Structure 1
């Protein structure tokens, strides 16, 4: 079976900072290498890279039991902050010895989870969302622009009833929606027309078949998916969950011999190898790739979030999804299902939905990869680890690819790259200084775009 390439917009990324529109820092594989603080004082907080901090948080959660009241990562100091309530002093001492920064708080996780249950039973209105914020030790409730009148009064009174010390309410300028339309990565025909989403991560199904993960609302919208708007189907939905306890689909390639690379194409001929599933940590930097908006980054702001989307099939209904990751990473229609990952190759999430866009910003929610894998029995890492053509000399930095001003789906301008570097310079090496790739990382939603060496499977 031949594998057609799916066009992806090139994301403009610059070393050590951000660039206009793309707003994504370059991926430096060793930029967050773990350090140990250089102190012999066991009570002095250590510094960790985000993935190690996440692992430690999971261990301490089990060790501290009811004393554990959440945790978050301080990206500036590279420290793990662990919230504790009155409890086992010996366990707290062990947490300090492990290198965590201990912070005493008033609300236990049990108290905050009980508050979330009250919101679920008394204030499940379309356009609302909530998540526990370990930084404030409160439940942060968000209402989008559609929540008005009696719905707003109901939400506000429920939050007030929980108390200002336990919950806070804020308004979002956008509208919570699933990002199911307008992309150019994977396509399906459904009632009402063409559905477009983004591929998340290639995986191996429990029976050994090659497959990929994407959003559940994509999987329930259509069964068969292809790599071009008019192409023949190449993959079929095996499992899909939406709404309810998650937003994920397992889609199996129809050709059992498909070699599906375990990587994410980030444009400019670069790929990030995905080696494992990773748990999200509040405060940690994460990257999102989507077929509409390209590469963007931000931070995790909440875990175990509940989102009440307006139902697309019932005007008066609500599609409630639980267990999501909340972030400040932007996304737009067509990015649904796309990968959320760490710079060192950890698969964190699948784009679900949110408010705003990549001009105004907003909240975006993601399905945790770890729970999707557990539910489907799939595993990360499959097939050709080399990632196919990505990074090949005739793809990265080629004169007719990078910086050309006539590519469909972008407004690339040769010669205006940050740092004065030629577009595509050093594209095969993510650690090379200078801007990698060209364009603003955005698309026009037409299903067209330039060929930057990306493909549905990553190998040919």
Structure 2
């Protein structure tokens, strides 16, 4: 085994092979180097050289920022993304959420154990002590989701509000909300009913980059490629599988190849040979925005929306994993924003800096009086359609070798030696006993490695790894039930990678 500068090596009798403990130093181990988020200065330099001037202009207008303040905000968002990925794993069990503070000047991490406050501070974030960890809050929301298809009138949505450490049910009828909570048999002491006059609707003629037509009008989300050529992702409520699509110029474009609504709100359209995918988002009066990657940004981060009715508008990311009750049915896993939208914008693009975030689903209000708009996360869409690849300005890694049949596929980017990502999407997952398969494909000329870690009750412990000298790795592990996370790390080199995952 080659020496890993930031991995401590220890023997573990419970494992059949050598185990690695991330950022730990057992008595019989060599010293390890703590992994850290990038510094504000590093992030500031990165965004200054990579973010489109058009994104900056839209942020300055809608968030009332100077040019320097807009760059600062994007740098804070980037650092917060790193902190969120690290904190969610390394503070597991005590972790309760990460967000950018209201002023956009720093990162807050919620924890339940005051003794972990120094760990949060060491990450460069401000700790806040709360009563409930993410596992408790997510469990309550999951119980509410179980009866989400029989939502009483007057209940509009429910979500975990990490900034208040509560589960929130938004409703115009408090009695209906109380009945809804009682029917779910959840701990009502963790749930707040928040008065809401909005009635979210899936804005059928709604948002995105360029317009497209399918009997109505919606907006393109993000361009993708697939084995058959080009296409794009959009909202599922815009069309069903097989629906014919014309482009912004009314020329035949292709058809819906997949669609899910309600439950989800995503779809993808395959284009004919007359259309080619690009890495651009319509700037509507500005130069086009460039899509650099698909990394998901945290709550509180800045975000801009592009749609064929109202053009570009910006705001901030609110609660994630929100469940929304539309008249047509319940949709799970959405992200709330304070950005406006109107009919015709549906399916359109959401971008933070150059990072693609999701596609417009629905909301309330308009771009005169303001409103609330939800987008369906791009990471979930790409996982649902593993044959699709987001079109970006980067090289992008090849499809993961040996993982053509992976249940889910993810993308990421490493900045250099000793950089790392947690997968899937910066989080862990719970699995039954059985076989885990992970496949990694990095850029040519790099040496990327892959580790599978399991929570042992007090720390994350590596149970399987792939450490060849190539950019591609494939790991198979037959394990017991528990919580797992994958670590993608760079032994040398940088660039975009793809990761395929199959779980028991």
Q: In which range does the TM-score fall when normalised by the shorter chain?
A: 0.5 to 0.7
Q: Distance in 2 between matches of 1:84 and 1:32?
A: 29
Higher normalized contact order (CA 8 Å, seq sep 6+, divided by chain length): 1
Q: Is the 8 A contact 2:96 2:110 kept in 1?
A: yes
Q: Distance in 1 between matches of 2:164 and 2:394?
A: 44
Q: What is the CA deviation profile of residues 345-386 of structure 1, one whole-angstrom value per residue up to 9, with x for unaligned ones?
A: 11011100112222232221111111111221222225999x
| TM-score of the superposed pair, with normalisation by structure 2 | 0.60
Q: Is the 8 A contact 1:260 1:382 kept in 2?
A: no
Q: CA deviation at 1:287?
A: 0.7
Counterpart of 2:205 in structure 1 is 181
Q: CA deviation at 1:208?
A: 6.0
Counterpart of 2:254 in structure 1 is 235
Counterpart of 1:66 in structure 2 is 93
Counterpart of 1:338 in structure 2 is 348
Q: Distance in 1 between matches of 2:315 and 2:253?
A: 33
Q: Distance in 2 between matches of 1:254 and 1:264?
A: 20
Q: CA deviation at 1:17?
A: 4.7
Q: Is 1:320 matched up with 2:330?
A: yes
Counterpart of 1:84 in structure 2 is 111
Q: CA deviation at 1:155?
A: 4.0
* Cα gap change, 1:384 to 1:105, in 2 (>3 Å): closer
| TM-score of the superposed pair, with normalisation by structure 1 | 0.65
Counterpart of 2:224 in structure 1 is 203
* Cα gap change, 1:357 to 1:303, in 2 (>3 Å): same
Q: Is the 8 A contact 1:173 1:356 kept in 2?
A: no
Counterpart of 2:391 in structure 1 is 381
* Cα gap change, 1:153 to 1:374, in 2 (>3 Å): closer
Choose which of 213, 227, 234 in structure 2 pairs with 1:214.
234
Q: CA deviation at 1:181?
A: 2.0
Counterpart of 1:247 in structure 2 is 265
* Cα gap change, 1:26 to 1:232, in 2 (>3 Å): farther
Q: Distance in 1 between matches of 2:147 and 2:72?
A: 45
Residue 197 of structure 1 aligns to a residue whose secondary structure is strand
Q: Distance in 2 between matches of 1:25 and 1:201?
A: 27
Q: Distance in 2 between matches of 1:302 and 1:370?
A: 16
Q: Is the 8 A contact 2:156 2:199 kept in 1?
A: no
Q: Distance in 2 between matches of 1:217 and 1:327?
A: 19
* Cα gap change, 1:235 to 1:122, in 2 (>3 Å): closer
Choose which of 188, 192, 197 in structure 2 pairs with 1:168.
192
Q: Is 1:370 matched up with 2:379?
A: yes
Q: Is the 8 A contact 2:317 2:335 kept in 1?
A: yes
Q: Is 1:128 matched up with 2:188?
A: no
Q: Distance in 1 between matches of 2:160 and 2:218?
A: 29
**Greater percentage in strand:** 2
Counterpart of 1:141 in structure 2 is 169
* Cα gap change, 1:29 to 1:258, in 2 (>3 Å): farther
Provide the alpha-carbon RMSD of the alignment: 3.4
Q: Distance in 1 between matches of 2:232 and 2:348?
A: 11
Q: Distance in 1 between matches of 2:311 and 2:342?
A: 10
Choose which of 284, 299, 317 in structure 2 pairs with 1:300.
317
Q: What is the CA deviation profile of residues 405-456 of structure 1, one whole-angstrom value per residue up to 9, with x for unaligned ones?
A: xxxxxxxxxxxxxxxxxxxxxxxxxxxxxxxxxxxxxxxxxxxxxxxxxxxx
* Cα gap change, 1:13 to 1:92, in 2 (>3 Å): closer
Q: Is the 8 A contact 1:188 1:222 kept in 2?
A: no
Q: CA deviation at 1:151?
A: 3.6
Residue 270 of structure 1 aligns to a residue whose secondary structure is coil
Q: Distance in 2 between matches of 1:297 and 1:209?
A: 32
* Cα gap change, 1:173 to 1:260, in 2 (>3 Å): same
Q: CA deviation at 1:102?
A: 1.2
Residue 31 of structure 1 aligns to a residue whose secondary structure is helix
Q: Which runs of 5+ in 2 are unaligned?
A: 1-53, 396-504
Q: What is the CA deviation profile of residues 143-192 of structure 1, one whole-angstrom value per residue up to 9, with x for unaligned ones?
A: 2xxx559745524767997445x222223333210011267953444xxx
Q: Distance in 1 between matches of 2:282 and 2:220?
A: 11
Q: CA deviation at 1:13?
A: 9.7
Q: Is the 8 A contact 1:198 1:291 kept in 2?
A: yes
Q: Distance in 1 between matches of 2:218 and 2:97?
A: 33
Choose which of 284, 290, 306 in structure 2 pairs with 1:273.
290
Q: CA deviation at 1:114?
A: 2.4
* Cα gap change, 1:31 to 1:208, in 2 (>3 Å): farther
* Cα gap change, 1:77 to 1:323, in 2 (>3 Å): closer
Residue 216 of structure 2 aligns to a residue whose secondary structure is strand
Q: Distance in 1 between matches of 2:139 and 2:265?
A: 23
* Cα gap change, 1:84 to 1:384, in 2 (>3 Å): closer
